[in-house]
Amino acid sequence: MKLTRLLDQRPTTRRDVLFVAAGTTITCLGAGALSHTVNKIDLRASLGWFDTVTVDLTGISPGSTLRVKWGQRPVLVRRRFTHEILSEQAVNPEELLDKYARNPELEKNALATDSNRVKKGHEQWLVVTGLCTHMGCSLTADYKEQVGGWSCPCHGARYDVSGRVRSGPAPQNLEIPPYRFVSDTLIELG
């Protein structure tokens, strides 16, 4: 009641208006940041990033790719030919559009050599997410181009058979999801 009388007695100043505006802005920004954080947590759970999926490799012939779903994300599992492995191993990562491996098991600055993008002893198997790193479009097989691999039908990015971006607007190599070999014929995503 005294505050009302105090406000009634003095005119509103520019300082009062700025104080209220600043307080409102700070409150809105804080609420927005909290909402964004909560949505990220819910999004990660809904995408199934905490789930595991077992993939049977027995039916995949050399040169073929199996598309599996891990949560809401497509994952490409490719059994590579020996000549593809040798060709990818010969690529100098310093000449790539993205020279980093993007492998969660390695340091962030690990180079995108073919050996840094596959599991040791299982070089014939490449496991990458099937979403373009430019705008998240689903990739399609691209065997017409010299680099082979996959292409983005939306904006034309191309990835080689090691999942490294070779042309187009994509800023990064394909992400390698966390996976492990349970046996020679089974992998577990997640």
Per-position pLDDT tens, the chain of length 190: 455 555 556 677 887 777 777 778 887 777 766 665 655 554 444 444 557 899 999 989 998 899 999 988 999 999 999 999 999 999 999 999 999 999 999 999 999 999 999 999 999 999 999 999 999 999 988 755 555 789 899 988 999 999 999 999 999 999 999 999 999 999 999 8
Q: Cβ of 12: how many Cβ atoms within 10 Å? A: 9
Give me the pLDDT at residue 43, please.
46
Q: What single letter denotes the amino acid at residue 82? A: T
HEC sequence for 89-138: HCCCHHHCCCCECCCCCCCCCCECCHHHCCCCCCCCEEEEECECCCCCCE
Would you please indicate which residues are annotated as catalytic (active-site) residues?
155
Q: How much helix, strand and coil, in percent to the nearest 5, is found in the chain?
A: 30, 25, 50
Count of Cβ atoms closer than 10 Å to residue 154 Cβ: 15
Q: What is the pLDDT of residue 8?
A: 59
Q: How many residues does the chain have?
A: 190
Q: Reduced to 3 states, what is the DSSP secondary structure of residue 38?
A: helix
- The pLDDT value given to residue 44: 46
Q: What is the pTM of this model?
A: 0.71
Residue 42 is predicted with a pLDDT of 47
